[in-house]
Amino acid sequence: MRPPVRATSAGATAEPVVRALVDVSADGLAVLDGNGRFTEVNAAGHRILGLGEKALHGHPSPFELGRSQPSSDIRRQTEWQGGDGRWQRLEYRVSALPDGRCVVWFTDVTETLREQERLSAITRAAASVADSGSLSATLEAVAREVWMTANISAVQIMTIDNPRDELRVVGMAGFGDTAGFTDRLSECRRLGADVRFIDALEQHQPVVVLHRKRVIMNDPRWIPLKQIMSEPDWDSFVSMPLVVRGRVLGVINAYYVPGDDPGPSSLAFLSAMADHAAVAIETASLLAQTRSRAQMEERRKLARDLHDSVVQQLFSMGMQARALRSSLDRTGGSGTDVRDGVEEMVGLARNALADLRGLVFELHPLDLADRGLVDAVRSYAAGVEARHDLVIDVRAAEDLELDLGIDVAEDLYRIVQEALHNVVKHARATRAGIDFGRSGRGGVTVRITDDGIGGEAPASGKSLGLVSMRERAERWRGGLAAGAQPGGGWAVEVALPAGPAC
């Protein structure tokens, strides 16, 4: 009679060759009793399930046996929580034995399924980049696709021009109430918190930090953000830079569920999604530049048309009216009504011509595109001086180089225009100054001053102009301050931070 079989040795009742094949199999093989409990498991099965012989023997299996058939080829899936606490997705087949037991073949398909999810997410993200007309909608969609993968509990997409500047959150998923997130994070940075995504921005490399949540929750420098960061159920952290043509535009921050650390496949997935997000940001920037150029070209065309038609006709009208007035003077004409009408025509033509010339200049600031911001402002200031009783000094250091994008330069130009308009309309000033410079951090500053009466005009005047100027400055993450000067007069100062646009 043969000796009894050891329950913890897979294939112990088989011949040695068969037992060896079972032990070296990369797939899990197990024998279950009639109640679905493990009796025998091979070495690969122990590795997949994450439990040893003693822990598995007699342990209930996750496999469904009710529909098992002899030599079944039906593949089913189930979930299993391994010894390390991670949930896995197992694919298995069941075959019944004559004595009421079952043999189960199984394999871990968790990563395979996740990879399929990631590929689907990448495809959907690519479609959103191609189809969406809104950058914010695109990046929200990318964040949502990343978040929907099984092992990521929360996601942020941030854009930033300089690692030390303020950031913009442009996509987020998985968090609860995030009101004031940007301000809270800025406060954490001021308190000296170790903000790891800064490393990704500066080094152009992904940053992986295991068990990050416990560090943040125990660090008093993170107090402003603790409530927001405590809500998602997460443990480890990855910051993946958004890189286009060697330039970092921002980061994707991914927060991983506990017990599911980021592996190579997950990092490759994040890298692909970061590429899509970066392309979306770059595409939006290029579209904005193209749109701006198209608008400028349309303004130039309109300016040319106005100059070639309406301005010339008004100029001719004025000449004809002057000629008629001279003729009346020479002939001693006494038609008072005719003379008054001619005088009115001359005045109207003169005023209309001045207004149209100003409109043409505003529509078509050729000097801005051809000669740069400072020279364009000098030209505009000279025109204002010629039309009004005002002396304007434009000052800039000889070695000052303003490497500005055309959109940034135009907004600064419009700010100067609006400020001078306020000086002319409201200040009753005799002198004004425009000073160009650099801030201590490499940004651009423009200060417009006057020696007028100071103070705000009514809401229909200067205050609305200030709103417009401030909006233009904030478009480039800058700021604008305006107020009365201690020695009299009014000052408007705009400051834009350093960055690719400046």
* H/E element, 313: helix 312-331
- H or E element, residue 426: none
Which is more confident, 307 or 70? 307
Closest-CA residue to 49 (of 92, 6, 19, 16): 92
For the segment 272-310, what is each residue's pLDDT rounded down to a tens digit? 888 878 877 777 666 666 666 666 666 666 666 565 556
Decide: helix, strand or coil at residue 357: helix
Residue 40 has φ and ψ, to the nearest 5°, of: -140, 135
Higher pLDDT, 454 or 382: 382
Q: Is 62 buried (19+), middle (13-18) or exposed (0-12) by CB count in 10 A?
A: middle
Q: Are residues 144 and 262 in the same domain?
A: yes
Of 253, 193, 198, nearest in space to 219 by CA:
193
Residue 42: pLDDT over 70: yes
Q: Which CATH number does the domain housing residue 255 bear?
A: 3.30.450.40
pLDDT of residue 116: 62
Longest dimension (CA), the chain: 149
| DSSP symbol at 309 | I
pLDDT at residue 478, rounded to an integer? 87
Contact 450, 431 (CB under 8 A): yes
What does the block give as tokens for 192? 């000296």
Size of the chain in residues: 502
CA distance 238 to 261: 10
| pLDDT (mean) for 143-151 | 80
Q: Is the pLDDT of residue 157 over 70?
A: yes
Which one of 76, 108, 140 terminates a domain?
Answer: 108
In whole angstroms, give the CA distance from residue 76 to residue 338.
102
pLDDT of residue 118: 62
Which of 146-160, 198-212, 331-345, 420-434 has the weakest average pLDDT?
Answer: 331-345
Q: CA–CA separation, 130 vs 140, rounded Å?
A: 14
Average pLDDT along the chain: 78
Last residue in a domain, options 75, 108, 141: 108
3-state helix, strand, coil in the chain (%, to 5): 50, 20, 30
Gap between the Cα atoms of 72 and 262, Å rounded: 36
**203 has pLDDT over 60:** yes
359 within domain boundaries: no
Residue 10 included in any domain: no
- What does the alpha-carbon distance between residue 116 and residue 108 come to, in Å, rounded to a whole number? 14
Q: Are residues 100 and 135 in the same domain?
A: no
User: What single-letter DSSP state applies at residue 3?
Assistant: P
Which DSSP state fits 70?
Answer: T
Buried b (16+ CB within 10 A) or exposed e, 465-483: bbeebbebbeebbbebebe
Q: Is residue 192 a part of any domain in this protein?
A: yes
User: Could you tell me if residue 356 is inside a domain?
Assistant: no
The rounded distance, in Å, linking the Cα atoms of 44 and 50 is 10
Q: Which DSSP category does 218 fall into?
A: T
Same domain, 119 and 177: yes
Integer Cα distance of 108 and 92 in angstroms: 9
Tokens of 39: 């009796």
Spatial CB neighbours of 316, under 8 Å, sequence gap ≥ 6: none
Residue 362 included in any domain: no
Distance (Å, whole) CA 138 – CA 441: 32
375 lies in the same domain as 493: yes
194 shares its domain with 260: yes
The CATH number that applies at residue 33 is 3.30.450.20
> Count of domains in the chain?
3
- Residue 226 domain flag: yes
Are 134 and 209 in a shared domain?
yes
Residues 143 and 272 in one domain: yes
CA dist 407 to 41, 285, 293, Å? Answer: 69, 11, 8
> Where do the DSSP E strands lie in 114-206?
152-159, 168-173
Is the pLDDT at 458 greater than 80, yes or no? no
Same domain, 128 and 78: no
Strand 236-244 relative to strand 207-209, pairing: antiparallel
Which residue, chain included where needed, has tokens 């068969």?
A: 18
CA distance 482 to 462: 11
Are residue 121 and residue 256 in the same domain, yes or no?
yes
Question: Domain of 74?
Answer: 16-108
- DSSP secondary structure letter of residue 9: S
Residue 320 lies in a domain: no
Do 100 and 136 belong to one domain?
no
- Is the pLDDT reported for residue 9 higher than 50? no
Q: Is residue 183 part of a domain?
A: yes
Q: What CATH code is carried by the domain that includes residue 459? A: 3.30.565.10
Q: How far apart are CA 480 and CA 478, in angstroms?
A: 7
Lowest mean pLDDT among 57-61, 352-356, 386-390: 352-356
Looking at the structure, tell me whether residues 383 and 427 fall in a common domain. Answer: yes
Reported as a pLDDT band with limits 50, 70 and 90, residue 399 is confident
**In this structure, are 96 and 117 located in the same domain?**
no
Out of 108, 128, 143, a domain closes at 108
